[in-house]
């Protein structure tokens, strides 16, 4: 349940919690280490102090070996102690021989011997050590050195309170700061989200304002803007395509409608009008069918529905096939294949044929009767060069750069009779591109044109 709340929380909250948790963990670990270090150091010092006093005491007792000195108050008051140290000297039977003033702790003196003991008793925290010495007069004499650790405990208590206060303050500050910082850092994401919400097909103009440091968020903004640029580009291209296509279809439809009206009015009686209208309607509908087919091809190509069906085949055989078909279609042109190298290529057979047909159909259209059209394939180093050339009307130099654009016709009046749609070459280019080939054109107005496709033989 709690985990779910955390899972669904805002990123800024998650970051704050994580940050505060890590900070608190490090703080607590550090403080615990410091506290333990100090305790360890203080107790060590205390032990050393008690040990030193014990050594001095035992030395005194043995060096003087005088029983009276054991009971001498100086014996216990003379030790170089800094306070909070209490000494008692016992006889075997428990009789106290000597003791520091105000020694009022109850601590066993016989056991353990020469071993430090920590006890907490009646609100006192004590560290003590016992030792014994065999003396001539009394037999075993017991020495007991006790250190009251109240001061150390007070110091530790104060230190602990300060540390807890510092920890609480630090943790609260880390939560607050973490929240403010993470919110500020994530603010651009909010802004990106809002901009994205505003963007729709009808409004592709909004862009994210990318300024500030070059960080992940500004990169996200730039990437997002680029994506919208591409979308806008694609949408406007699509809109342009649809409007061009409708425009292209409008003319033949208008022509067909015109002749249909003519037929309606006069065609029943006027035989000449009837024949003229039927001929025109047939021609226009054939044109329209051509156009629609081309449009469908390009639309499928744009949306990547069209898949290449590549296989290995002999290019020279395809060229021979296209040449003999073209001879049948255009018996009044001289169609040749002067060079046709035996070449095996890996490509989509149907599309290669379609591409060649575009070039040849154009050559037939734009070359006068008896004109020469040559289709050739030449093997080059790791590639094959396919050329379709004619000695037709050619293309004006300034138009060459546009002829591969969709719906572009050099001079509408000159292609009026030929019934071009302006999309043949854009289809040819699409096919060449899809085969990672290059397409180029050389043309001299009035002399002829040459379309060249170079296909790589390395796949």
For residues 263-289, b (16+ Cβ closer than 10 Å) or e, as one string? beeebeeeeebbeebeebbeebeebbe
Residue 419: closest CA among 434, 409, 405, 433: 409
Binding mask 290-329 for ligand ADP (x = CB under 6 A): ----------------------------------------
Stretch that binds ligand ADP, among 2-10, 108-116, 117-125, 387-395 (CB under 6 A): 387-395
The answer to the question of residue 420 lying near ligand ADP (CB under 6 A) is yes
DSSP string, 306-371: ----EEEEEHHHHHHHHHHHHHHH-TTSEEE-S-B---EEEEEHHHHHHHHHHHHHHHHHTS-TT-
DSSP collapsed to 3 states, 231-286: HHHHHHHHHHHHHHHHHHHHHHHHHHHHHHHHHHHHHCCCHHHHHHHHHHHHHHHH
**Cβ-contact 386, 318 below 8 angstroms:** no
- CB of 347: closest distance to ligand ADP in angstroms? 21
Closest separation between CB of residue 337 and ligand ADP, Å?
17
Q: 């993470």: which residue's tokens?
A: 182
Backbone angles phi, psi at 84, to 5 degrees: 65, 15
Q: What's the min distance (Å) between Cβ of 291 and ligand ADP?
A: 9
Site for ligand ADP in 23-52 (CB under 6 A): none
Q: Which of 72, 99, 70 is nearest to 87 (CA)?
A: 99
Between 163 and 319, CB nearer to ligand ADP: 319
Q: How far is the CB of 272 from ligand ADP (least distance, A)?
A: 30
- Binding span for ligand ADP by CB under 6 A among 10-18, 175-183, 199-207, 393-401: 393-401
Residue from 363, 371, 377, 384 in contact with ligand ADP (CB under 6 A) = 363
Evaluate whether 135 touches 160 at the Cβ level (below 8 Å): no
Which helix H or strand E contains 54, and what residues bound it? Answer: helix 11-64
Q: Is 391 exposed, middle or buried (0-12, 13-18, 19+ CB in 10 A)?
A: buried
Nearer to ligand ADP among residue 267 and residue 294 (C-beta): 294
Which is nearer to ligand ADP, 313 or 404 (by Cβ)?
A: 404
Q: Could you say which of 252, 267, 424, 437 contacts ligand ADP (CB under 6 A)?
A: 424
Q: Which is nearer to ligand ADP, 93 or 338 (CB)?
A: 338
**DSSP line for 418-432:** TT--S-HHHHHHHHH
Which residue among 76, 109, 449, 455 contacts ligand ADP (CB under 6 A)?
449
**Rounded (10°) angle between helices 349-365 and 315-329:** 40
Nearest distance from C-beta of residue 390 to ligand ADP, angstroms: 5
DSSP state of 200: B
Rule CB under 6 A: say whether 415 interacts with ligand ADP: yes
Tokens 């530790």 found at: 156
Which of 142, 409, 435, 455 is the binder for ligand ADP (CB under 6 A)? 409
Out of 129, 403, 431, 453, name the contact with ligand ADP by CB under 6 A: 403
Q: Which of 109, 138, 143, 366 binds ligand ADP (CB under 6 A)?
A: 366
d(CA 109, CA 331): 134
Residue 456 engages ligand ADP in binding (rule: CB under 6 A): no
| Shorter beta-carbon distance to ligand ADP: residue 148 or 390 | 390
Q: Give the single-character DSSP code of 65.
A: -
Strands 334-336 and 372-380: parallel
Torsion of CA 193, 195, 196, 202, to 10 degrees: 160
From 67-75, 80-88, 276-284, 402-410, span contacting ligand ADP (CB under 6 A) = 402-410
Number of shown-chain residues binding ligand ADP (CB under 6 A): 22
Closest approach of Cβ 317 to ligand ADP, in Å?
24
Stretch that binds ligand ADP, among 131-139, 214-222, 267-275, 362-370 (CB under 6 A): 362-370
Among positions 87, 322, 423, 432, the unique one binding ligand ADP when judged by CB under 6 A? 423
Q: Does residue number 421 form part of the binding site for ligand ADP (CB under 6 A)?
A: yes
d(CA 324, CA 375): 11
Residues that bind ligand ADP (CB under 6 A): 358, 362-363, 366, 390, 392-395, 403, 408-410, 415, 420-426, 449
């Amino acid at each position: 349940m709690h985990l779910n709340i955390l899972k669904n929380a805002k990123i800024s909250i998650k970051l704050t919690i994580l940050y505060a948790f890590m900070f608190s963990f490090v703080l607590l670990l550090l403080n615990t280490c410091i506290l333990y270090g100090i305790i360890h150091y203080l107790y060590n010092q205390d032990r050393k102090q008690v040990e030193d006093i014990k050594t001095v005491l035992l030395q005194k007792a043995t060096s003087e070996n005088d029983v009276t000195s054991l009971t001498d108050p100086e014996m216990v008051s003379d030790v170089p102690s800094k306070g909070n140290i209490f000494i008692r000297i016992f006889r075997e039977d428990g009789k106290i021989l000597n003791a520091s003033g105000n020694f009022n702790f109850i601590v066993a003196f016989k056991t353990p011997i020469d071993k430090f003991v920590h006890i907490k008793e009646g609100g006192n925290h004590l560290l003590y050590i016992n030792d014994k010495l065999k003396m001539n007069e009394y037999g075993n004499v017991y020495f007991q050195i006790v250190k009251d650790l109240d001061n150390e405990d007070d110091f530790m208590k104060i230190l602990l309170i300060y540390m807890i206060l510092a920890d609480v303050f630090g943790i609260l500050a880390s939560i607050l700061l973490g929240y403010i910082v993470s919110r500020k850092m994530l603010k651009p994401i909010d802004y990106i989200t809002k901009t994205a919400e505003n963007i729709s097909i009808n409004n592709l103009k909004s862009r994210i304002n990318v300024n500030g440091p070059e960080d992940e968020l500004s990169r996200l903004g730039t990437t997002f803007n680029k994506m919208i640029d591409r979308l806008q580009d694609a949408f406007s291209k699509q809109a342009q395509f649809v409007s061009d296509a409708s425009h292209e279809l409008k003319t033949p439809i208008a022509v067909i409608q015109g002749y249909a009206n003519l037929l309606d009015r006069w065609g029943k009686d006027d035989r000449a009008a009837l024949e003229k209208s039927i001929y025109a309607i047939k021609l226009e509908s054939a044109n329209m069918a051509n156009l629609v087919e081309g449009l469908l091809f390009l639309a499928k190509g744009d949306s990547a529905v069209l898949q290449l069906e590549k296989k290995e085949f002999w290019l020279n055989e395809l060229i021979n096939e296209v040449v003999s078909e073209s001879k049948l279609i255009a018996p009044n042109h001289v169609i040749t294949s002067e060079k046709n190298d035996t070449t095996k290529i890996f490509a989509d057979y149907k599309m290669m044929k379609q591409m060649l047909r575009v070039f040849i159909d154009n050559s037939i259209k734009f070359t006068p009767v008896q004109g020469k059209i040559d289709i050739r394939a030449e093997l080059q180093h790791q590639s094959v060069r396919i050329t379709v050339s004619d000695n037709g009307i050619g293309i004006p130099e300034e138009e060459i750069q546009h002829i591969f654009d969709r719906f572009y016709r050099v001079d509408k009046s000159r292609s009026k009779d030929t019934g071009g749609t302006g999309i043949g070459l854009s289809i040819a280019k699409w096919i060449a591109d899809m085969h990672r080939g290059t397409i180029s054109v050389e043309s001299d107005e009035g002399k002829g044109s040459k379309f060249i496709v170079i296909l790589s033989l390395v796949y």
